Structure formats: structure tokens, C-alpha cells
């Protein structure tokens, strides 16, 4: 009898422990999923707010502008995605925040689309405080604002051109200027201009001696740039994202050229001496720009850019 009672007593405890364990497991599972869902909602809202907060950094008539630091409540990751599909492609941002429960960073399932924004950064940026500055892309009319995003990384610019040094000194934080990569902080991202050194992380090579045109080499990949706006774009972004953005920008430039073409037709009909005969110039520009889907093809539009700039400067009533 004692053994039988002992067996019944032991089984009851085992059963209770088993049921209790199941209940605790289900409770933890429910809480984890609730937290995951809540985190996802907060992260989607954060991505949208992040994109909105960058709107004031767009330059209008300014040559460059620095945004106030954007500070997240906790350490976060920003995912920057560029897609080529559609009339103008799309820029997508998603955020994954660390809340101290569950996975430190969960892979975001939802991203926020921006159809008229051009953000340049690594595909994933991690930190709590993020910085951004912008510069307009003029080819020769304004195509869009380039917005450069970076975290707490320390950049060291080795022998930059004077104009670049002055501009970076005015609009960028977490930077050093040096004449040699050996003099840069050990953990810094070393951007070398003109001459390559073993410690260089990124190399900017000039074309025909002018810093406003050349190649940025990063992760063993070459990115062609025309003008400082695209040079910064190549420096601060991953090569894949840069090439995608080039195609998006050229689609936008092509459409803008067609709008200017229609404006030229209207202006040419005026009788007050403020005529324009640039319709064909804009049409040629639009055709070439629409065919550019990678940076190495940018030189195909250089002649048209300069031609339009000179023709516009000669007009008494400017088209742009």
C-alpha cells in the first residue's frame, strides 16, 4: 500500500510539473510573439519617421546641408534597399530595434517605400545616433537631392581636394583630415584621394586630373562618378546600392528633360524676345539618360549635359 501511494503521489507531482511547464512555455511563447509583433509595429513607424525627418535636409537652393542628429531610443539597425522596377524605381527603408528581449535584431518583414528619395549609405547601418547631409545633383538642371546617411563610424579623408575638405569640414561629423593613411585613427574608414595606400579602405581616382570626375573603388568594385554629389554617393554607399540609384536618377533625369522640352515649346512661341530653341537638346538628353542603368555609362551623357548648360546660359530667359 505504501509503495502504491508513493507511486500515486510521485505521478501527481510529475503531472503537475509537466502541466506547469507547458503553461509557462505557452506564456513565454505568447509574450515573445506579442513583443515581436509590437517591435515590428514600432520599427515600421520608426522607418517612416526616419525618412520624414530627413526631408528638411533636402537642399532647395543650398549647395549642401547637414541634418540634426537622429537619435533612436535604443540601438537600432537601418536597412537601406534600392529597387529598380517601376517608372522611377523605389527607395525602401526598414528599421530593426534592440529591446533586450527575444532576438537582439529581428529581420524586418515590412519596409517603408519612398519613390522620390535617394538615400546613400551601407545596406545596413547600426547604432543609436545617425547623421545625414545632402547635396543636390545638377546635370545640368537639378535632378534630385542626394542624402548621405552614416552612423558613429569615424571617417578619415586622406589628401582630399581643397573644395571637398572645406565642404566636409562644414557639414560632416566624425571625420578626420590627414595627408597619409598612416596618420588616420586605427579604426577609421580611410578614404584616399588621388593616391592609393595599403591602409586605404576607399580610393577616389581622378579622371584627367580633375577631382569632379573619376572612379571610386570600394570593396574591389569601381563606381564612376560625375561631380561631387555622386562622388559622395559612391563613398558612403555600397556599390550595389549606388548602381541601382544611378539607374533611378537617370530615369528621373530623362522625365525631367521631357518636361523641360515641353516648356521649351511653350516659351519658343512667346513674342517678347524670351524664346527658346532647346527642344531638340532636351529630347536627345532624355533619350540617352533613359538608357543609362550603370555608372560606367555616365560619360555617354556628359556632352549633352555641357551642351544644355552652355545653351541655357546663352538664353535671356533661363530654362532652369
Query: What mean pLDDT is predicted for residues 10-31?
Result: 58
Residue 1 is predicted with a pLDDT of 46
Residue 170 is predicted with a pLDDT of 82
Query: What mean pLDDT is predicted for residues 63-67?
Result: 72
Task: Work out the percent of the chain whose per-residue pLDDT is above 70.
Answer: 76
Query: What's the rounded Cα separation, in Å, for the pair 113 and 122?
Result: 17
Q: What is the pLDDT of residues 66-91, one digit of tens each?
A: 778 888 888 888 899 999 988 899 99
Question: What sign has the CA pseudo-torsion 110, 55, 130, 143?
Answer: positive
Cell of 159: 589628401
> Which tops the pLDDT comparison, 61 or 279?
279
Q: What is the mean pLDDT of the chain?
A: 82
Residue 70 is predicted with a pLDDT of 85
Residue 200 is predicted with a pLDDT of 93
Residue 184 is predicted with a pLDDT of 92
Residue 43 is predicted with a pLDDT of 52
Q: What is the dihedral of CA 5, 6, 12, 17, to 10 degrees?
A: 170
Q: What is the pLDDT of residues 116-159, one digit of tens each?
A: 899 999 999 998 899 888 899 999 999 999 999 988 888 999 99
Residue 301 is predicted with a pLDDT of 95
Q: Are 175 and 148 in contact (CB under 8 A)?
A: no
Residue 201 is predicted with a pLDDT of 93
Is the pTM of the predicted complex or chain greater than 0.85?
A: no
Amino acid at each position: 500500500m505504501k509503495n502504491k501511494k508513493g507511486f500515486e503521489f510521485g505521478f501527481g507531482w510529475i503531472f503537475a510539473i509537466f502541466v506547469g511547464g507547458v503553461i509557462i512555455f505557452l506564456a513565454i511563447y505568447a509574450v515573445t510573439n506579442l513583443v515581436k509583433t509590437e517591435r515590428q509595429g514600432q520599427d515600421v513607424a520608426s522607418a517612416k519617421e526616419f525618412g520624414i525627418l530627413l526631408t528638411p535636409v533636402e537642399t532647395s537652393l543650398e549647395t549642401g546641408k547637414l541634418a540634426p542628429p537622429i537619435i533612436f531610443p535604443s540601438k537600432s539597425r537601418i536597412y537601406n534597399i534600392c529597387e529598380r522596377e517601376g517608372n522611377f524605381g523605389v527607395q525602401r527603408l526598414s528599421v530593426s530595434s534592440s529591446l533586450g528581449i527575444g532576438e537582439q535584431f529581428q529581420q524586418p518583414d515590412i519596409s517603408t517605400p519612398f519613390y522620390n528619395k535617394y538615400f546613400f549609405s551601407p545596406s545596413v547601418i547600426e547604432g543609436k545616433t545617425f547623421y545625414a547631409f545632402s547635396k543636390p545633383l545638377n546635370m545640368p538642371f537639378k535632378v534630385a537631392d542626394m542624402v548621405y546617411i552614416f552612423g558613429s563610424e569615424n571617417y578619415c579623408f586622406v589628401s582630399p581636394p581643397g573644395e571637398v575638405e572645406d565642404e566636409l569640414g562644414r557639414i560632416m561629423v566624425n571625420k578626420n583630415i590627414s595627408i597619409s593613411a598612416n596618420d588616420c585613427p586605427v579604426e577609421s574608414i580611410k578614404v584616399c584621394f588621388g593616391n592609393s595606400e595599403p591602409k586605404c579602405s576607399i580610393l577616389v581616382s581622378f579622371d584627367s586630373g580633375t577631382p569632379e570626375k573619376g572612379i571610386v573603388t570600394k570593396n574591389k568594385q569601381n563606381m564612376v562618378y560625375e561631380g561631387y554629389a555622386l562622388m559622395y554617393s559612391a563613398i558612403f554607399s555600397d556599390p550595389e546600392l549606388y548602381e541601382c540609384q544611378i539607374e533611378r536618377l537617370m530615369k528621373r533625369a530623362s522625365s525631367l528633360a521631357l518636361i523641360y522640352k515641353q516648356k521649351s515649346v511653350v516659351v519658343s512661341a512667346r513674342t517678347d524676345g524670351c524664346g527658346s530653341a532647346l527642344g531638340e537638346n532636351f529630347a536627345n538628353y532624355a533619350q540617352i539618360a533613359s538608357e543609362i542603368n550603370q555608372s560606367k555609362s555616365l560619360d555617354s551623357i556628359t556632352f549633352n549635359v555641357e551642351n544644355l548648360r552652355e545653351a541655357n546660359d546663352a538664353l535671356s530667359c533661363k530654362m532652369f
